């Protein structure tokens, strides 16, 4: 596990016999620890690119076939994973599956019936709206005129009647039961004029299809046809279910085996081939190079050569934090992936972000509410189907389900801290619940102890800015940038000098005697000299202003806390005042104000502490050392579900498989 640094990567080269190529690729696929790279031009000058064979083309064809079969069949129980020891065995198993024609015919018929059912639903709905038309429907169409069903407001209906030109010879029939709904017939060549009039009036027009018989007759016929289609689709689903019960497990296993072979074929273009040998290069975590070499040698009977490649290329980035910390990689990836040779800020983020979130929330009512919402998100939003559709769609547009779960996990520690602080401060939706009910006297009041909280936030800011400069100094040192080391050291001195100079001024005004100002002025001047010496006059001077502003920026921890508390008190005061008034209208209005106002404050309690907490880390902390824009590590391979590994006799994957969340 890596903490504070991405996993160290090593580029390796491998030369082996072409007879062992497929087995080596299978091993790399199952291990998922190697990102295969294209061979450099110098190596390709001595070799030729790998070319596909007839067997590999057959694999591609069968992969398309089985992916289609798997998608066409409903999922069914799958037996134990299967093992295929060669490509020929996979292709032989594929040839034993005889259900293509029947499944294809059933799916095509089902697709046709689905389209037909959708069209019948639209026709039934239209005929329901045409119930006010008493005559036969064939009267609504001829070579010289067409008919439309229109719907809008009564005012729009009146307006469209005045906008249609007289030469259209339009005949209107209004629905007496639904004001604004009407049937209009007019000359065919004037249909465009009617469409423009409808757009200008806000009227929705639907062309009446060519039908025969009365509305009740056509509707009964359409409903009968729809029932027939539904019954036939049910028969098709039952037959596909029966086929799936017999064949789905086999198809899933063969499909997975074929997809693995397809992935192996796709990387062939990155390899080089000789008459009897092949060569490849790949990025591998340094800790896994020895294990990979032993496994490859064992799989090939020691008929290959693996070596380390000396290169100045930028390695891909693999963040490999402990499981609890790994959840917060979500935020780092959202901001920017670290480069492979710089600090991984996830560990510090995982420690600091929940503290910031809980402190800015600081209310056990809000904290408990957001905690329950987080647990609901983690559970997959059970019962969300009862929520308004626009709300569900809005949430989906903001973030994917995986992202929502990741966010929920990261907010839980902050919610727990907010609950603890809220209980200690006696803050429940801005109401001193324990004080009024049980006589509890909170030992700390955030509003009355504002000065202490501001001082605490200032020290937090000083600590975060200093830590950022420390990481920046170490980064510059490891990258052999002495002027950068000097500038970062100057930033640390100036930050501490400014902080304690300010404290000395405050205490002096309050009548206290601190160490003389000379030491603090010395730190400030020394920091100023070092920053200007390391970064130049303009950049250094800008850096000094940035240091002060970044330290003071952390006072927003207190500002957001107080804003939430004061807003809750205002909501409670206004709502309670109306409720206590005693009138029915006042009680209802007061309860509405409390519910809506507190709901709004809960939403702010998620966004403000979350956004501002992350911002304090991204801007005030990251800016001291973080570059980002790293290239993600994308290992070759994928997890097996329906097949087992072919690189060990027992079919088990060799060694622990690398686990990393998706980028």
Q: Choose among 236, 22, 283: nearest CA to 116.
A: 236
Q: Is residue 418 part of a domain?
A: no
Q: Is residue 126 part of a domain?
A: yes
Report the pLDDT value the prediction gives residue 392, as an integer from 0 to 100: 58
Q: Is residue 598 part of a domain?
A: no
What domain range is 183 assigned to?
Answer: 114-224
Report the pLDDT value the prediction gives residue 464, as an integer from 0 to 100: 95
Report the pLDDT value the prediction gives residue 395, as an integer from 0 to 100: 62
Q: Is residue 634 part of a domain?
A: no
Q: Is residue 477 part of a domain?
A: no
Distance CA 609, CA 555 (A): 13
First to last CA, the chain: 18
Q: What is the phi-psi region of residue 49: left when phi exceeds 0, alpha when psi lies from -120 to 50, beta otherwise?
A: beta
Report the pLDDT value the prediction gives residue 423, as an integer from 0 to 100: 92
Report the pLDDT value the prediction gives residue 384, as an integer from 0 to 100: 67
Any alpha helices (H) in 327-432, and if so which ranges?
Answer: 329-335, 346-361, 364-378, 389-398, 401-425
What pTM was computed for the model? 0.77
318, 35 Cβ separation under 8 angstroms: no
Q: What is the CATH number of the domain that holds 126?
A: 3.30.70.250
Report the pLDDT value the prediction gives residue 386, as an integer from 0 to 100: 66
The domain tally of the chain equals: 1
- What three-state secondary structure class fits 6? coil
Q: Is residue 138 part of a domain?
A: yes
Distance CA 462, CA 503 (A): 12
Query: In degrees rounded to 5, what are phi and psi of residue 113?
Result: -70, -35
Report the pLDDT value the prediction gives residue 511, as an integer from 0 to 100: 41
List of the chain residues with pLDDT < 50 = 509-514, 654-663
Q: Choose among 624, 451, 606: nearest CA to 551.
A: 624
Q: Is residue 169 part of a domain?
A: yes
Q: Is residue 368 part of a domain?
A: no
Distance CA 609, CA 359 (A): 8
609, 370 Cβ separation under 8 angstroms: no
Report the pLDDT value the prediction gives residue 306, as an integer from 0 to 100: 95
Distance CA 150, CA 425 (A): 63
Report the pLDDT value the prediction gives residue 360, as an integer from 0 to 100: 94
């Amino acid at each position: 596990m890596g903490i504070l640094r991405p996993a160290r990567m090593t580029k390796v080269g491998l030369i082996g016999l072409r007879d062992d190529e497929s087995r080596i690729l299978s091993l790399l696929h199952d291990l998922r620890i190697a990102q295969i790279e294209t061979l450099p031009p110098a190596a390709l000058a001595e070799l030729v690119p790998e070319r596909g064979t007839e067997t590999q083309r057959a694999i591609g064809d069968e992969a398309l076939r089985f992916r289609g079969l798997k998608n066409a069949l409903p999922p069914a129980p799958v037996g134990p994973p299967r093992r295929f020891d060669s490509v020929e065995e996979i292709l032989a198993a594929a040839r034993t599956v005889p259900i293509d024609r029947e499944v294809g015919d059933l799916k095509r018929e089902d697709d046709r019936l689905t389209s037909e059912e959708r069209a019948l639903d639209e026709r039934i709905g239209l005929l329901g709206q045409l119930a006010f038309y008493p005559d036969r429907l064939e009267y609504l169409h001829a070579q010289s005129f067409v008919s439309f069903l229109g719907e809008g407001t009564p005012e729009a209906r009146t307006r469209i009647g005045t906008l249609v030109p007289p030469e259209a010879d339009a005949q209107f029939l209004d629905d007496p039961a639904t004001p604004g709904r009407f049937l209009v017939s007019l000359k065919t060549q004037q249909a465009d004029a009617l469409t423009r009039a409808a757009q200008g009036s806000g009227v929705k027009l639907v062309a009446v299809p060519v039908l025969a018989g009365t509305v009740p007759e056509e509707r009964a016929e359409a409903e009968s046809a729809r029932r027939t289609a539904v019954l036939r689709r049910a028969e098709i689903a039952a037959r596909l279910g029966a086929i799936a019960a017999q064949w789905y497990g086999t198809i899933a296993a063969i499909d997975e085996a074929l997809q693995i072979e397809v992935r192996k074929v796709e990387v062939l273009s990155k390899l080089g081939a000789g008459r009897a040998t092949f060569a490849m290069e790949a990025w591998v975590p340094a800790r896994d190079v020895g294990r990979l070499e032993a496994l490859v040698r064992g799989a090939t009977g020691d008929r290959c050569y693996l070596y380390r490649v000396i290169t100045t290329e930028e390695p891909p980035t693999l963040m490999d934090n402990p499981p609890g910390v790994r959840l917060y990689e979500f935020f780092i990836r959202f901001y920017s992936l670290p480069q492979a040779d710089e600090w991984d800020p996830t560990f510090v983020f995982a420690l600091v972000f929940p503290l910031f979130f809980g402190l800015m929330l600081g209310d056990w009512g809000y904290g408990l509410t957001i905690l329950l919402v987080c647990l609901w998100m983690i559970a997959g939003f059970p019962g969300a189907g009862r929520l308004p559709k626009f709300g569900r769609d809005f949430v989906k547009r903001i973030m994917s389900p995986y992202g929502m779960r990741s966010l929920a996990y990261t907010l839980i520690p902050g919610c727990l801290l907010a609950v603890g602080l809220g209980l200690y401060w006696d803050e429940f939706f801005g109401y001193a619940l324990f004080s009024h009910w049980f006589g509890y006297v909170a030992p700390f009041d955030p509003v009355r102890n504002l000065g202490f909280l501001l001082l605490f936030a200032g020290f937090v800011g000083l600590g975060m800015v200093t830590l950022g400069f420390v990481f920046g100094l170490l980064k510059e040192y490891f990258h052999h940038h002495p002027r950068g080391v000097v500038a970062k050291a100057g930033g640390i001195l100036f930050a501490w000098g400014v902080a304690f100079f300010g404290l000395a001024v405050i205490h002096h005004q309050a009548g206290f005697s601190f160490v003389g100002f000379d030491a603090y002025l010395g730190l400030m001047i020394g920091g100023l000299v070092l920053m200007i010496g390391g970064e130049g006059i303009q950049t250094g001077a800008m850096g000094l202003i940035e240091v002060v502003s970044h330290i003071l920026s952390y006072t927003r921890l207190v500002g957001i806390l107080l804003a939430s508390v004061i807003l809750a008190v205002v909501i409670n005061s206004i709502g309670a005042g109306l409720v206590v008034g005693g009138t029915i209208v006042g009680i209802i209005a007061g309860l509405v104000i409390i519910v809506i106002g507190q709901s709004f404050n809960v939403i702010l309690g998620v966004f403000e502490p979350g956004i501002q907490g992350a911002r304090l880390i991204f801007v005030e902390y990251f800016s001291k050392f973080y570059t980002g824009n790293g290239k993600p590590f994308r290992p070759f391979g994928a997890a097996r579900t329906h097949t087992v590994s072919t690189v060990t006799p027992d079919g088990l994957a060799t060694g622990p498989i690398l686990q990393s969340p998706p980028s």
